[in-house]
Structure 1
Amino acid sequence: MAAPTVASDVEVGLESVFPRELGLFADAFPAETRYRLCGHELSIAQYHGAHLGVAAPVWEAALTLCEYFEAQKLNFWGKKVIELGAGTGIVGILASLLGGDVTITDLPVALKQIEENVHRNLPMKCMARARVCALSWGLDHKEFPKNYDFILGADIVYLKDTYPLLIRTLQHLCGAQSTIYLSSKMRQEHSTEFFFETLLPMHFTSKLAFRDEAENINIYEVTSKNNIGQ
């Protein structure tokens, strides 16, 4: 697992004077962590105190998916990519650095954090092929194209009420040539296994591509049942 390092001694000093739990300066002084992934050093801001909830932090499932890109030498060059429920945007940002034409999406409340991280990490040559926009599953998914090469999601399967909305969104975005990668902590209390082992296979061809036993994280490779060659 990529080892995060604290961004700066200044940040540590600020936290000692203004403890995080007071929440007084959360918007002005976000947590900043650096990750080394696929040969790129990323600086990721995480606004823990800005009412973002689960969208604020970098989750282990996101790091596992990023490391999977490197292990599998996935080719994003010239590919059309969309990330769902991006949170910090770390997965989509890395896909863009690896050559993808990437749309990074989440609910409107998370977009400022994603945009900041995009500007922190993408050089100008990548900025032209990175787009940040709102996507509410099951509501406005039809405003997006149907022919993405890759659809990515990390730890987006945790609220059972959203599962049908996510399925409908994936059905719209996933074309015959699309590949979906979903990385998830397998939380029993959230019926995560039900989604991946029962609900998802009803609509897609799905296989377990990788498992991190220590972290209880699975990565699933998912394609349309109409995928050419299936």
Structure 2
Amino acid sequence: MATADEEEGKVVMVRIGSYGGKARVLLVGEESAAEETMLLWGFQQPTLSKPNAFVSQSSLQLRLDACGHSLSILQSPSSLGTPGVTGAVMWDSGVVLAKFLEHAVDSGMLLLQGKKVVELGSGCGLVGCVAALLGGQVILTDMPDRLRLLKKNVEANLKHGNVRGSATVMELLWGDDPDQELIEQKPDYVLGSDVVYSEEAVADLVATLLQLCGSETTIFLSGELRNDAILEYFLEVAMKSFTVGRVDQTQWHPDYCSSRVVLYVLVKK
């Protein structure tokens, strides 16, 4: 559910779903998705800022402090040479989303304790691990060939006894029918970082979001600003079925902001 809070011209600030902060809602219309991408590239100028500011993709490990824990995320830099494989290393969008969740919970804008959380395209698993540390009952999903590294990171970072939530790893191919465990009880939250990367994957991604999400599900998607045409296409497709709002960087973790990253919150119409 999206609740209007204020309106200034065509900029509408709303509270979307279970997120207590405000987001700039994207208004449905022929030009809306195009205007959004033009605004992002014109205002944030992503190509002028440093890529991978928070990660070292050449390293076998990424270390990050979150939720009072020192996380060590294993990476596979050699896999980057395989076409289409991006989930074997961390990207800034994953770090931004993970630290946003921590900041939102700490500031009372978000409650993950005891909530069912599904992460799409989990990759190395940082976001799902942080969601579990924040109390979520998390299911991290990815394609079959990505699960080995994902399981390693979940086991390595969540094996200690003071984890507030839980985490399990499950195969999920976008566009296919999800396992009943994913949809029998609809998730309270669906998370994804860097999941909008090709026009071919957009239809399957949106189809999976529609299958997973109920009327009470809140979605958070972060992404690297690489290709305006792909993002515009995703927004056009998503806005047919979802209310989409952009979370302003003033609401992110203050130490983890990047003009190369965008963060959206979505709910089913």
TM > 0.5 fold call: yes
Q: CA deviation at 1:119?
A: 1.1
Higher relative contact order at CA 8 Å, sep ≥6: structure 1 or structure 2? 2
Partner residue of 1:54 out of 86, 97, 103: 86
Counterpart of 2:114 (choices 78, 82, 85) is 78
**What is the TM-score normalised by the length of structure 1?**
0.79
**Alpha-carbon distance in 1 for matches of 2:237, 2:246:** 14
Letter in 1 for 2:155: H
Q: Distance in 2 between matches of 1:57 and 1:3?
A: 12
The sequence identity of aligned pairs, in percent, is 34
Aligned pair in 2 of structure 1 residues 217, 135: CA closer, same or farther (>3 Å)?
A: same
Of the three residues 189, 209, 213, the one matched with 1:170 is: 209
Post-superposition Cα deviations, 1:87-118, rounded to whole Å, max 9, x if no partner, equal: 00110011011111000000011101011001
Task: State yes or no: 1:220 paired with 2:241.
Answer: no
**Distance in 2 between the 1:3 and 1:191 partners?**
24
How far does residue 4 in structure 1 lie from its aligned partner after superposition? 5.8
Aligned with residue 129 of structure 1, among 166, 169, 172? 166
SS at match of 1:163: helix
Q: May I ask how many residue pairs the two structures share in their alignment? A: 202
Match of 1:63 in 2: 95
| Contact 1:2 1:36 survives alignment (8 Å) | no
Secondary structure of 1:56's partner?
A: coil
Judged with a 3 Å threshold, the aligned counterparts in structure 2 of structure 1 residues 3 and 36 are, in CA distance, closer, same or farther, namely: farther
Residue pair 2:186, 2:212 contacting (<8 A) in 1 also: yes
Q: Secondary structure at the match of 2:140?
A: strand
Identify the residue that residue 35 of structure 1 maps to in structure 2. 64
Q: If the length of structure 2 is used for normalisation, what is the TM-score?
A: 0.68
1:151 counterpart (184, 190, 197): 190
Secondary structure of 2:239's counterpart equals helix
Is the CA contact 1:159–1:190 (under 8 Å) kept in the aligned structure 2?
A: no
Structure 1 residues not aligned, in runs of 5+: 6-19, 21-29, 226-230
CA distance in 1, matches of 2:55, 2:78: 20
Provide the C-alpha distance between the structure 2 equivalents of 1:109 and 1:210, rounded to a whole number of angstroms. Answer: 35
Deviation at 1:2, TM superposition (A): 8.7
The match for 1:9 is: none
**Mapped partners of 2:237, 2:64: distance in 1:** 34
Contact 1:187 1:193 in 2 (8 A): no
> Secondary structure at the residue paired with 1:53?
coil
Q: 1:190 to 1:90 in 2, by over 3 A?
A: farther
Name which of structure 1's ranges 165-174 and 66-75 shifts more when overlaid on structure 2: 66-75
In structure 2, do the counterparts of structure 1 residues 4 and 183 end up closer, same or farther at CA, with 3 Å as the change threshold? closer
How far does residue 210 in structure 1 lie from its aligned partner after superposition? 2.9
What is the alpha-carbon root mean square deviation over aligned residues?
A: 2.6
Partner Cα distance (2:201, 2:88) in 1: 19
